[in-house]
Structure 1
Amino acid sequence: MVKRVLMIAYHFPPMHGSSGMQRTLRFARYLPDHGWEPIVLAPSPRAYQQTDSGQLADIPQQVRVHRAFALDTARHLTVMGRYPRVLALPDRWVSWWLGAVPAGWALIKKYKPDVIWSTYPIATAHLIGLSLHRLTGIPWVADFRDPMVQPDYPADPLTYRAFERVENKTVEHCSRAVFAYPVFSIPFNRERIR
């Protein structure tokens, strides 16, 4: 029996200029070979600084892709060269959360996925995963790639605290956390990892 996974990913075609989208594209391409049907929830293309429609051909035909409302605070909500910082925490795409949670809820009701998967480096993706997991109780895999906070990253204290909150909540509530390298090689609260 085929299982379904709701994949929450900011980096996805037609975004241009990010090697990060290859991770989600490869999962979407090869998961069906292992009995999983991927359903991708990505932001509206307007959230991307640059797009390339040629990369849409890289999306496997059997993969359902759904787009949710999203803005880039720095580009869309700037007035006279400034925007309120609260509208860009934990990142400039936090507005995606407003569109993706209802869209994700509708996808969950329609397709009944077995797992929710979200991927960083856009922290808002984990906020969406957290919200949908808490609403539904569906197991959630948080793909960090790298830890969100490190001793000197992010450099801005306000962003650091926002990332730290998202990281703590994610590790506390996710069913599994995936990292690209051993997290114990950097200072990290080991008790938070399952």
Structure 2
Amino acid sequence: MRKKALIITYYWPPAGGPGVQRWLKFVKYLPDFNIEPVVFIPENPNYALIDETLTDDVSKDVAILKLPIKEPYKLARFLSKKKSNTISKGIISDEQTQSLTERIMLYIRGNFFIPDARKHWVAPSVKFLSEYIKRENIETIITTGPPHSLHLIGIQLKENLKVKWIADFRDPWTTIGYHKKLKLSKRSRKKHLFLEKSVLNSANQIIVTSFVTKDEFSKITSKPIEVITNGYDYESVAPVVLDSKFSLSHIGSLLSKRNPKVLWKALSDLIKEEPNFSTDLQINFVGSISNEVLESLEKHDLTSYISNVGYVSHKEALKYQKKSQVLLLIEINSKETKGIIPGKLFEYMISNRPIIALGPKGSDVEKIVKDTNTGNYFSYDDYTLLKTTILSHYKAYKNEALQSFPIGLQKYSRKKLTESLSKLI
């Protein structure tokens, strides 16, 4: 007889973006390990991104429970639809460029909605799920955040029903980059820290996506912490032809601070120095991009080389990955991002295209890229080495010999990762 596991998540198809795919794939493969997943989601969520193609991965055999949710971001749209959407995506302007409306919205978000804007879904969810868990004899519940308010559902259900509770952190809580930008009062900051500590010390098992996050949490709790990274799935994508241009493609959002001026300078200098480089270069942005990044590109005279594609479905994003000459992975240059491993990294790794990654020294991404031989990793002060590597890739492209030579990727497959999860359940 299969064991049932109740998964409490905010993001679920038709939501788009990386947040939905982790548990979408776990749910897809858990039945292969004799576990029957039951998924609990909001009935009327406010998703910033929509991708209908992801619904193809939801089995008709999976039980989906839904409960209405009050969404403050819908009200925030009356102030500014654009700012509401960008803040909900985690794209926050630099302080010196923020409008009064954005400052007000950030202050309200940070101090009146702790831990986040979905806090009012906690109480009705606990009431609804308590009855369901007792009726269906559910032994294990799993909460996944962000939004971290979902962990507060877990803490109450465990306390009331004595069920086994696994708390999954796709991102850190108080150490994530945008947390500092929420204009938190001293009291609000303390409340976040208190709630984070309460969750970490109440869950039976904690799951994180990076080793840096595990180290951070280990200083707060003695509860068992398992690292289960994100991964890749075998997607059926029609064969694609490589770009004729020397294309460098970034898939996903480029936040204000995720702005590698060292890369823009290297490209700008190669345009001036290397024959034909200016004719061949193309920079693809597939996803949201902040105005600050666009302005930086303009200052380096790169605007004419940009193809700003915007947000596309997951399947379309995979096509861009496979046909690009080089894939860009860019993270904010700060110690808080050392433990951030973007989900797209694993799809990059199986695309057979070389990766150029930039971020802080000593990050988990740096270790994975080097261990799998899927590309090169640079810090923000590695100008000479970065420029040399791009030039080397360009010469290989001209000789039709540019490719990747990955090793040891199997452990990052979604099915293999689900096997690790099933053992915890």
TM-score, normalised by the number of residues in structure 1: 0.85
**1:114–1:153 CA distance, 2 compared to 1 (3 A):** same
Q: What percentage of aligned pairs have identical amino acids?
A: 26
Matched, 1:127 2:152: yes
For 1:179 and 1:151, how far apart are their aligned partners in 2?
A: 13
**3-state SS, counterpart of residue 193 of structure 1:** coil
- Counterpart CA distance in 1 for 2:191 and 2:46 is 21
Equivalences for residues 7-26 of structure 1 within 5 A:
7-15=7-15, 17-26=16-25
Q: Which residue of 1 aligns with 2:245?
A: none
Offset at residue 143 of structure 1 (A): 0.5
CA-CA distance at 1:153 after TM superposition = 5.1
Aligned to 1:174: 203
Per the TM alignment, residue 163 of structure 1 is displaced from its structure 2 partner at its CA by 3.2
Distance 1:34 1:184 in 2: 27
For residue 117 of structure 1, report the CA deviation from its aligned partner: 0.4
Report which stretch shifted further, 109-118 or 132-141: 109-118
Q: CA–CA distance in 2 between the matches of 1:160 and 1:42? A: 28
Partner residue in 2 for 1:99: 124
Change (3 A) 1:186 1:61: same
Distance 2:150 2:163 in 1: 16
Q: Cα offset for 1:37?
A: 0.6
- For 1:193, the equivalent position in structure 2 comes to 222
Say which SS state the counterpart of residue 117 (structure 2) adopts. Answer: coil
Contact 2:9–2:41 under 8 Å retained in 1? yes
Structural RMSD (CA): 2.6
Change (3 A) 1:168 1:25: same
Q: For residues 98 and 79 of structure 1, do their structure 2 counterparts lie closer, same or farther at Cα, with a shift above 3 Å needed?
A: farther
Q: Deviations over 1:66-90 (max 9, x none)?
A: 1112122132377767786565221
What letter corresponds to residue 28 of structure 1 in structure 2? V
CA distance in 2, matches of 1:77, 1:141: 32
Is 1:32 paired with 2:31? yes
Residues 162, 67 of structure 1: alpha-carbon distance in 2 compared, 3 angstrom cutoff: farther
Are the aligned partners of 1:7 and 1:40 in contact in 2 as well (CA < 8 Å)? yes
Contact 2:42 2:68 in 1 (8 A): yes
**1:163 aligns with one of 177, 181, 192:** 192
Give distance in 1, aligned partners of 2:172 and 2:29: 25
After TM superposition, list the pairs within 5 Å mapping 1:105-120 onto structure 2.
105-120=130-145
How is 1:34-49 mapped onto 2 (pairs within 5 angstroms)? Answer: 34-49=33-48
Deviations 1:118-141 (A, max 9, x none): 111111111111111111110100
The C-alpha deviation readout for 1:47-104, integer Å capped at 9, x for no partner, is 3345455533321111111111212213237776778656522111112213311221
**Aligned equivalents of 1:151 and 1:106: distance in 2?**
34
Superposed displacement of residue 14, structure 1: 2.2
**What amino acid does structure 1 have at the position aligned with 2:24?**
L
Matched AA of 1:154: H
Structure 1 residue aligned with 2:3: 3
- Separation in 2, partners of 1:151, 1:69: 28
What is the match of residue 147 of structure 1?
Answer: 172
Q: Greater relative contact order: 1 or 2 (C-alpha under 8 angstroms, separation 6 or more)?
A: 1
How big is the shift at 1:151? Answer: 7.8
Of 183-192 and 56-65, deviating more is 183-192
Cα separation, 2, equivalents of 1:54 and 1:187: 36
Q: Which structure has the greater CA radius of gyration?
A: 2
- State how far apart, in whole Å, the 1-side matches of 2:138 and 2:18 are: 27
Aligned length: 193
Counterpart amino acid of residue 19 in structure 1:
P
